[in-house]
Amino acid sequence: MRFTLLILFWSIVGSAIGQTDSLANIKSTHLDSTGIKKICTKLQIPNNLEANNDLLHFIVDWIGTPYCYGGETKKCTDCSGFTTNLYLTIYKKYIPRSSREIFNNCLPISKHALYEGDLVFFATSGGSTISHVGVYLWDDFFVHSSTSQGVIISNLKQGYYRKTYVSGGAWLD
């Protein structure tokens, strides 16, 4: 279904979908099912044998990085700094540096159609203005840089994120 929607989107705007998947270019340290299970357990997320190995390693490397507004390094990072680093490292895609700009350039995706690597957007300052971004994992879990805890994994069903969630988005380029 998702693939069909993406094809329809590109045909409407007159673009062609390339024959190669940008994810195929990623060099990966392939984990066996035991390795994936260990990392998922360490991250306290459900086991997913189809998970992107590089994404899991990236998260392990960044988890606990402190939050600082405007930061984009492992010394400290904000939500969009973390997300832009993740997208460049894992998906080889340059995305804007602010959560609002990222949101404005995404194909909207409903919550029930989110897929690993999609973006999730929140209005944490009230209203509907986008002020926070994270990267969806699976089973309602997402990774992001929280102002209070730094880079963490949270769940969309948690009260705060359930209340402030605005939309999902797919970055297409």
Per-residue pLDDT of 23-81, as tens digits, reads 333 334 567 888 899 999 999 999 999 999 999 999 999 999 999 999 999 999 999 99
What are the φ and ψ backbone dihedral angles of 128, each rounded to 5 degrees? -120, 10
Q: Is residue 106 part of a domain?
A: yes
Q: Is residue 10 part of a domain?
A: no
* Predicted local distance difference test score (pLDDT) of residue 13: 37
Q: Is residue 23 part of a domain?
A: no
Q: Is residue 74 part of a domain?
A: yes
What b/e sequence results for 82-95 when a residue is b if at least 16 CB atoms lie within 10 Å of its CB, and e otherwise? Answer: bbbbbbebbbeeeb
Task: Kindly report the CATH number assigned to the domain that includes residue 67.
Answer: 3.90.1720.10
| Residue from 40, 76, 106, 144 carrying the catalytic annotation | 144
**pTM, whole model, 2 decimals?**
0.83
| 50: Cα separation from own chain's centroid | 16
From the list 31, 11, 22, the residue with the least C-alpha distance to 90 is 22
Does 106 or 7 have the greater pLDDT score? Answer: 106
What b/e sequence results for 15-40 when a residue is b if at least 16 CB atoms lie within 10 Å of its CB, and e otherwise? Answer: eeeeeeeeeeeeeeeebeeeebeebb
Does 52 or 22 have the greater pLDDT score? Answer: 52
Does 148 or 173 have the greater pLDDT score? Answer: 148
- Tell me whether residue 79 is one of the annotated catalytic residues: yes
* Predicted local distance difference test score (pLDDT) of residue 2: 55
Q: Is residue 19 part of a domain?
A: no
| Residue from 40, 76, 79, 106 carrying the catalytic annotation | 79
From the list 137, 5, 27, 18, the residue with the least C-alpha distance to 92 is 27
Q: How many distinct structural domains can be found in the chain?
A: 1
Measured distance CA(161)–CA(72) in Å, rounded: 22
3-state secondary structure of 151: strand
Strand extents, DSSP E, the chain: 106-109, 119-122, 132-136, 141-146, 150-155, 165-171
* Predicted local distance difference test score (pLDDT) of residue 33: 84
From the list 144, 170, 169, 139, the residue with the least C-alpha distance to 157 is 139
Domain range for 84 is 30-171
pLDDT at 111 over 90: yes
* Predicted local distance difference test score (pLDDT) of residue 53: 93
Rg of the chain in Å (alpha carbons):
16
Q: Is residue 138 part of a domain?
A: yes
| Residue from 40, 76, 106, 132 carrying the catalytic annotation | 132
Q: Is residue 3 part of a domain?
A: no
- Tell me whether residue 57 is one of the annotated catalytic residues: no
Does 7 or 84 have the greater pLDDT score? Answer: 84
- Tell me whether residue 112 is one of the annotated catalytic residues: no
pLDDT, average across residues 144-166: 97
